[in-house]
Structure 1
């Protein structure tokens, strides 16, 4: 016997517009009567990575509103009172998010709060009272007024300077994410930042060490034995600090003659399988219990950054190198050795090859600089 298909109470519809965008609206069935709810949400033509990210965010918001409407209609059907959105304070809710985070991610959220307090000192502001105009004001503050001093008192001994373009993009994205979290938690029904223009991420000039510089660095004693091993392990594998710091012996496997790292990448939460070469395997050291950390004894990342910078300087290398630059060095070394972009993206655990392409641009600049040094022959 065929099962009768139940009609949905709410449909998410997309309607093309003359300007090339597409508007989103809900098609509701209320007691047999169809109604439309226009959401003032729009999809844009996907010409860039930012366009695709914006559309994903817009669709996620539309689906969230759809889910809320279904619940509301079901509650009306069964005579249940529809709960009213709570009068949640911005900074109290922000603290809830910060408490969920750790490491460098938590630091970014703390920095965002510092900038928000500079822009909006009213700690009794309710999230529901935030308007697109208020969000635009915070964007303008980041773009024209935000200073490095605003978030780090340790910088008081240097000249004040505006925050970098990448920091602007990150701080604004944190605020947008806050609104998305609020929608999922039932605190908001609409994201007031949705139609405010995002900052474009700059193409950063990623510092890296050449093979010759890495060999030079290896001749200088590292700040600590474990930090030296971890740094060169990153140079040879491309692993991030966050994944190296938490790496356990249970994630190190022997597959025939090959040593393989099977781990959950902390940044993307994806399971990765990474075969490493013999020299990288030697840097792992003596094996212990599966629960033991491979690089036990590493300090906090902030201390490691300072230590690596001083170490590189002691080696006579005139570059601003942090621990993360080891990952950049791996990528450039692989491309210079002839590894294709697709393979490199898999080795580095990138979800999209677009994240890997920046290294190809850096290598091109490196080759151009080398060609420019060719002497005149006549």
Structure 2
């Protein structure tokens, strides 16, 4: 086998600069593209005619860095000539094992946005608290360690309130680690699929207050201290949208055509997933007159306004349940399933990642059916 020679070269580019690159001969395989190539551009640049001390320093530093990279690449090529494929794989495994799993975990959080990223960062902080040592190498990631982290989460306290973590919060944090493990295995950073040996955290079913159809009608008829709260609340019942998505909804996301009717094309704030949500004529009418494309459909919303006003509005409708804004979303889902809409369609309308989340509402409807069976009674004295 002919040995690969690596040479540092420069190429003249615009603005009076040179671009530094490595020249491989014979060409070597680029693992990213799967093709053989002779050049690797280093994204390091020299001034052709340095005019001051700063430019001279830049040239010296870039040249030194490029030379070090060149030596490193030559050593890597030498490994390929010296070691067997098996030995090379063992070297790769050993090198990866020394890398930081914690830093890899943090990189996964960096790829998220908004509230989702906040949850990831909280999960990482709890993982750091659990480790105590401050870091974790890939070679030290085991089923036993992740199981210990699971046990830690089930007894851990919130860093914000000091109270014990809710079971579903612990589940959310645990799933962030499992997602990272799955990705690491897929990228061959782990030699085994750790997830297959892990014990899960069971989701705790929470009470999901909702309104019956009769209560929705009562709410519609009832007087509300703030008209905007009523409009947005009814809109949520008719669409199932979260408050966060309604608050950021713009007119350019509202589409109405003769062939397809009215629908909303938006990106969920929670999941960051693009959605196409068909809405009813009633929901469309509630939005009012169309504004400019970039203007909000419901301007100047304040969450605390809803938190204060909804209980007053609900009481005015003669409803004694504890109802929050998010209960309007539960109402939409429950009424859809109760009216016969199949669960897959409801799941898509709500933008759920998993149909398991939507199945909670079918249990609510089944409980109502069970209650209904006892409402028809025979007179035993006939």
Whether the TM-score (by the shorter chain) exceeds 0.5 is yes
Alignment gaps of 5+ in structure 2: 1-75
Of 94-103 and 168-177, deviating more is 94-103
User: Match for residue 287 of structure 1?
Assistant: 290
Q: Determine whether 1:146 maps to 2:148.
A: no
- Where does 1:140-289 land on structure 2 (aligned, <5 Å)? 140-143=151-154, 145-147=155-157, 150-153=158-161, 160=163, 162-182=164-184, 188=190, 190=192, 192-218=194-220, 219-221=222-224, 226-256=228-258, 258-265=261-268, 271-289=274-292
Specify which of 96, 104, 116 is matched with residue 105 of structure 1.
116
Aligned length, in residue pairs:
294
- Which residue of 2 is the match for residue 115 of structure 1? 126
Partner SS for 2:262: strand
- Cα separation, partners in 2 of 1:102 and 1:130, compared to 1, 3 Å: same
Q: What is aligned with 2:28?
A: none
Measured on the aligned residues, the alpha-carbon RMSD in Å equals: 4.0
Larger radius of gyration: 2
Runs of at least 4 residues off by over 6 Å: none
Question: Could you report, residue by residue, the CA deviation over 1:315-344 in whole angstroms, capped at 9, with x for unpaired residues?
Answer: 564434333321210122223334343543
Encode CA deviations 1:3-39: one digit per residue, 9 max, x unaligned.
xxxxxxxxxxxxxxxxxxxxxxxxxxxxxxxxxxxxx
Taking a change above 3 Å as real, the CA distance of residues 141 and 269 of structure 1, as seen in their structure-2 partners, is: closer
Unaligned ranges ≥5, structure 1 = 1-71
From the superposition, tell whether residues 337 and 130 of structure 1 become closer, same or farther in structure 2 (CA, over 3 Å).
Answer: closer
CA–CA separation in structure 1 for the residues paired with 2:362 and 2:308? 29
Identify if the C-alpha distance between structure 1 residues 220 and 96 changes in structure 2 by more than 3 Å, giving closer, same or farther.
farther
Q: 1:104 to 1:324 in 2, by over 3 A?
A: farther
Deviation at 1:105, TM superposition (A): 1.5
Relative to the length of structure 2, the TM-score reads 0.62
Would you say the 8 A contact 2:266–2:274 is kept in 1?
yes
Gap change, CA 1:187 and 1:351, over 3 Å in 2 = closer
Whether 1:331 aligns to 2:333 is: yes
The structural deviation recorded for 1:203 is 3.9
1:347 to 342, 349, 366: 349
2:147 to 113, 136, 142: 136
Q: Match for 2:369 among 359, 367, 370?
A: 367
- Alpha-carbon contact 1:226-1:297 (below 8 Å) kept: no
TM-score (norm. length: structure 1): 0.62
Aligned residues of 2:264 and 2:279 also touching (Cα < 8 A): yes
